[in-house]
Structures are given as structure tokens and as C-alpha cells.
Amino acid sequence: MSDGGRPATEQDAGEGEDPGEVDWEMAPDSDAEFPADPEKMAFIREIADDVYGDSSESRQVSAILYRVSDLYDPDGDTSPEEIYLNVRHIMDIKAQGGLDR
């Protein structure tokens, strides 16, 4: 356990991070490619549609799945780094209480 009785894995985003650190470089030696795969894209989007619900959490998961499906979209132009940064930004805003704060 860490501060406030939370496990260390549930610490606030940004705790103990070096602000000069390159955030998206999670696996700099990764050569993963995501060739266009309309079938995989449609499957992930179908799951995203199933997950979408009334709660903000289910909508966030659905949005993340849609972003991941963009990796396989023949007309898409995104990367894992862009998706990671976008999702992290959304989670940071949520942790701060929203945009209006």
C-alpha cells in the first residue's frame, strides 16, 4: 500500500515522473506495424459499440477501442504513440475533474 491506502499501482498519474521524460516512448525498440485490416477494424468497433453505455467509463473505453481500431483502418493515419498520448490526455483531464476545472 502507498499513500491514502491505495496500492502503489493506483497512484495519481504524474507522481514521480520526470517532466522532461519522453512520455510516448514506452517501447522505443518496438518495430510493431499495423497493416490495414478492415476485418479486425470492424471487429474492434463492434466490441466498442457493445461496451458503450450510460456511464462515462464505458464511453471512455468505447472511445479508446475506436481509437485502437483506427490502427487497422485502411484510410486511417494514426500510430500507437498518438493513441497513447490521446488516451493519457483524456485520463489526465478526468483525474482533474473535467475540462471546466
Q: What is the pLDDT of residues 26-81, one digit of tens each?
A: 556 566 788 999 999 999 999 999 999 999 889 999 999 999 999 999 998 888 88
Q: Does residue 97 fall inside a structural domain?
A: yes
Containing structural domain, residue 47: 33-101
Count: domains in the chain: 1
**In this structure, is residue 63 part of a structural domain?**
yes
Residue at 11 is within a domain: no
Q: 14 lies in a domain?
A: no
Does residue 36 contact residue 74 with C-beta atoms inside 8 Å? yes
**pTM (global) more than 0.85:** no
Among left, alpha and beta (phi > 0; psi -120 to 50; other), residue 47 is alpha
DSSP result, 48-80: HHHH--SSHHHHHHHHHHHHHHGGG-TT----H
96 found inside a domain: yes
Please check whether residue 41 lies inside any domain of the structure. yes
